[in-house]
Chain A
Amino acid sequence: MTETKWSVDQEGIRAFSTANNEPEWLLNARLDAFNKAEELPLPKPDKTKIDKWNFTEFGAHNVQSAPFESLAALPEAAQAVVGEENPAQTIYVQRNGTPSILNISSELKEAGVIFTDFATAAKEHGDLLQKYFMTQVVKADEHKLTALHAALVNGGVFLYVPKNVEIKEPVQAVFIHDDKNAALFNHVIVVAEANSSVTYVENYISTVATERSVANIVTEVIAGNNARVSYGAVDTLAENVTTYVNRRGITAPNARIDWSLGVMNDGNTVSENVTNLIGDGSYADTKMVVVGRGNQSMNFTTKVVHFGKHTEGYILKHGVMKDEAKSIFNGIGKIEHGASKSNAEQESRVLMLSEKARGDANPILLIDEDDVTAGHAASVGRVDPLQLYYLMSRGITKQEAERLVIHGFLAPVVNNLPIENVKQQLTGVIERKVRQ
């Protein structure tokens, strides 16, 4: 077994926990996970070899960052996603690991909504956090990266929506990475109690170049009876940041989770997005767009597991690979025995813009029940030279023609994203990523 180099030890974890006045259960959970991390294997994303990737070495587990004074003081890239004109009323901004800005509308406060940074949640809402933190959606001992995550969590946000509360305006979290030494071990929990609804949008933004860093992100969404969670994310982490991002949700009866994910990182990325449809009549919809460039390698596994009867799961992913970028799109629809009358649909499409770009789409349906419907569509192809010829014959430059084709290729996903904010952000982010 190869020896793993660790950038933090047990003492470091204790010190971090003490400095944050964490409850004892959390420190114990961290230490327990840390002990397991050494032994546990890495996850094995289908068709991408990650055993040489750097998940453990980074500048520092805990960097001190001065908080931003106001939304107006945010770096430009963050202001762009916050929306200068009309920022979200309820918004959290984190600078590296440091909670920086936290606004919550009085309306939400009165309704009993909890929206706070991870450290504060541990101090002030310890019971709730303990109930949900890596207990029922993602477990610390699944593999090395979840264990490392549990041991080293150093940021994130906790959103709790009491029953019958419907939040109309999106709640936003912006995670800014602007210290080249910083490593992000961010944990996000969204709990929507019965009959509640919420739209949550998060951004991971690097504004600094780094030689070596790590982002290990876990999201847990718990959608109660008949609750509705719309979860949006736009990730733009820098080159040389190795990202493991696991966004997972579970549904009670008749609950619904919609994922709108734009993964635009410039570094190697393993992205896992899973919805476990536990309750009867629950529903999951995942829409994802990806642009790869440079020589990055990415693996996207999107999975919907049907346990409840009459459950519906939809996956729609489109990706564009430029330069020498490689990506694997794994789509898994799994229908467990007993999940009758369920429907699993998926579509994955990859467009390669250059000879050296690589893409692969693997649609997988695993069905253990007779009385169900399922379907999949997948395609991988290169850009059609005749399309470029046609556009260029109207005077459009090759670069602009490619931009139009890419934009067009992603449009069927982007245009159908349920969250307007994410749709607009992505249009800009895609533009930037494609142009450079």
Chain B
Amino acid sequence: MSQSTLTIKDLHVAIDGKEILKGVNLEIKGGEFHAIMGPNGTGKSTLSSAIMGHPKYEITQGSITLDGEDVLEMEVDERARAGLFLAMQYPSEITGVTNAEFLRSAVNARREEGDEISLMKFIRQMDGNMDLLEMDQDMAQRYLNEGFSGGEKKRNEILQLMTIQPKIAILDEIDSGLDIDALKVVSKGINKMRGEDFGCLMITHYQRLLNYITPDHVHVMMQGKIVKSGGSELAERLEAEGYDWIKQELGIEDETVQ
């Protein structure tokens, strides 16, 4: 059993020359669930994209390591095979490539040539996960994310998570646009991943998600930094009182990235 650690130190990230993250420090270990909360425009999604290696984001300072390995030196696919996963807020649509075909490529990308997963085993696994996520079986044969509703896309991200079984997953606003029933289903999938080998970072605006997936650590992000960290009680206080008390406490007037 291997417990992984994702370590982010003094991370600065710019997009189109504008600095969005201004020194983020964070450590996520296998077995831990973290949540990053914060109002819009504070840099939460930038953090997730930077970790995965989105082509538009430039790392200007700091480091990201996974079990001591330099993540920033890796290509996007190498990061994924090293054990990172990002459930995206806006997954791409790819015409002509079926969901099943895509998932199987993702699974096989982690296996040696000649040791590809058997079709039967793959289908059994996929069917099981789709049942749990209450997805129609025909979603396997539909083109990847094409014409999927918002909720279907989110479920599909979690289906990938469950299929790929990464070491550390980042879920970028996995709750946005979900009604309460869908949220429960998606949460069920995420909770099924819990274990010593799996660490998770959830990025969200709302406490609502955290009612279904209890985090061990909650961080608040403002002005491109983590300004406050605590346990799950912090999320509850944010739900009850909003963000103003933190701004007052820290003397922040405008929480967005300037």
Contacts and interface: CB of A to CB of B under 8 A. Distances in A.
Interface stretch (A100-108, A151-159, A240-248, A390-398): A390-398
Contacts, number: 83
Interface in A378-436: 384-387, 389-398, 400-401, 404-405, 407-412, 415
B215 to A, nearest CB: 23
B5 interface: no
B15 interface: no
A408 B95 contact: yes
A411 B106 contact: no
A394 B96 contact: no
Contacts of B76: 389, 392-393
B133 interface: no
Nearest to A408: B96
A392 B96 contact: no
A contacts with B: majority SS: helix
Given A389-B55, A390-B91, A396 B97 contact: no
A412 B92 contact: no
Interface string B77-90: 10111000110100
Nearest to B88: A390
A410 B105 contact: no
A393 B80 contact: yes
Contact of A405 (B77, B85, B97, B101): B97
B132 to A, nearest CB: 19
B105 to A, nearest CB: 5
Nearest to A411: B96
B94 A391 contact: yes
B160 interface: yes
B212 interface: no
B164 interface: yes
Contacts of B109: 394-397, 400
Interface in B19-60: 52-55
Given A398-B77, A408-B143, A393 B97 contact: no
A400 B53 CA distance: 18
Contact of B80 (A384, A392, A409, A410): A392
A395 B81 contact: yes
Interface in A294-332: none
Contacts of B52: 393
Contact of A409 (B53, B54, B96, B144): B96
Nearest to B144: A408
Interface in B80-138: 80-81, 85-86, 88, 91-92, 94-97, 101-102, 105-106, 109-110
Nearest to B77: A392
Nearest to B146: A408
Interface residues of A, number: 25
A395 B80 contact: yes
Interface in A360-391: 384-387, 389-391
Contacts of A400: 105, 109
A318 to B, nearest CB: 9
A392 B94 contact: no
Contacts of A407: 96-97
B97 A395 contact: no
B244 interface: no
A387 B96 contact: no
B153 to A, nearest CB: 11
B92 A408 contact: no
B233 interface: no
Contacts of B55: 385-386, 389
Contacts of A410: 96
A394 B160 contact: yes
Contacts of B102: 391, 394, 404
B161 to A, nearest CB: 10
A390 B97 CA distance: 13
Contacts of A384: 92
Interface in A12-68: none
Interface string A126-159: 0000000000000000000000000000000000
A389 B54 contact: yes
A398 B81 CA distance: 13
Nearest to A406: B96
Interface of B: 52-55, 75-77, 79-81, 85-86, 88, 91-92, 94-97, 101-102, 105-106, 109-110, 143-144, 160, 164
Given A396-B106, A415-B96, 17 more contacts: A385-B55, A389-B92, A393-B53, A393-B76, A393-B80, A393-B85, A394-B80, A394-B102, A395-B106, A396-B77, A397-B77, A398-B77, A408-B96, A408-B97, A411-B96, A411-B97, A412-B96
Interface of A: 384-387, 389-398, 400-401, 404-405, 407-412, 415
28 contacts: A386-B55, A387-B94, A389-B53, A389-B54, A390-B88, A390-B91, A390-B92, A390-B94, A391-B92, A391-B105, A392-B77, A392-B80, A393-B52, A393-B76, A393-B77, A393-B80, A394-B164, A395-B110, A396-B80, A396-B109, A397-B109, A398-B77, A400-B109, A405-B94, A405-B97, A407-B96, A411-B97, A415-B96
- The 6 nearest A-B residue pairs measured at CB: A408-B96, A411-B96, A395-B80, A390-B92, A408-B97, A394-B106
